[in-house]
Structure 1
């Protein structure tokens, strides 16, 4: 009787263990557009990778997934958490779903079995706490983060000074170009004014020549003052005339 009870207990234990390592339920898959999305283990999802999402199994666990409709099987690795839909036990990548032949269905009844070999680098029986694992390492000897901060600040100031000097040089160059352009414009303006004045003088000469056709252009105007070479009349001649008239009529 005691042996029979031990045998029944052993069978129940093996059955519970098998049920714990094997699950049956519905499987879904990621969309092809989900490529590049961040997974719960910190990696990136790719539609061709053979990965899956599971609610409780540790990251890195290898699972054998069998499509119960066509008996196709594939081995995938747990890299994400989910699915959270009712009745779904696993969420496969697009590539894994394609190899199982369930793309057209969208949902498929599958059997999920944990692989005994190629386990993750930690025990699978450990219960996950949901907390991240922290690693505390000793820092280097004589390491000072203040010196690193000061060094970084000095480098940033040096870069700012270089940028500021470059901007000042560009501004000075631009100012010199503007001054040169202004000087060129002023010179062109003066030349135009001189050219305009000479053209106006020529037009006046042409107009004067048109009003006085007999007068040559280089002829000077006659002066109203007497020429310096003209001889003046001698006043003594008139004095003699007056003396003769006086003698005629007597004293």
Structure 2
């Protein structure tokens, strides 16, 4: 896809430029603001609240990061916004709130969390939120069905596939065959991604590199935390999704 140089122009802060010791928690408006101030692109996670609103949060449950417990999907966006995050004054933001803050100041790379169904209703809400947004943004997911849904409902929106070896994959909703297909990106004839985000510890991956070298797909790699991972990324990828240090 032409015109995607912005996707790899600058390092991408994983879940924003967060630092729990400084009171900046992942996937919050504070983490996004810190990334903007430091000149990084921002990666965030989106999932659906009970009322269908896209909210910025990674985990399936509230337990790790908030003072509440239980599944995120059981509560509406307003209820989630009322729950304190641990050790910070931030709350769980909606996608629209994040877009209003970023306002095109830096690229956004948005990962859609999925139950392997393609979450079409969530994808439609995300695309609707982006209709009035002016700024570089790309959407990606581990779930090829999500990428296929985005291809159909928003063909001009830059879309990517997130992948890895799946050797230690424990999450339900997949089979050995589907993991084989995802590992080797055998769905690309259908999903037609514009870029790939591949696990840094699994590079070099033949399928990802072939798509990069033969078809010009941008290759991001995640999550880079150590000097060894950074060296691997510099050899095989176009840009890093990082956390725990400042490139």
- For Structure 1 versus Structure 2, the TM-score category normalised by the shorter chain is under 0.3
> TM-score scaled to structure 2, two decimals?
0.18
Greater radius of gyration (CA)? 1
Structure 1-normalised TM-score?
Answer: 0.18
Higher helix share: 1
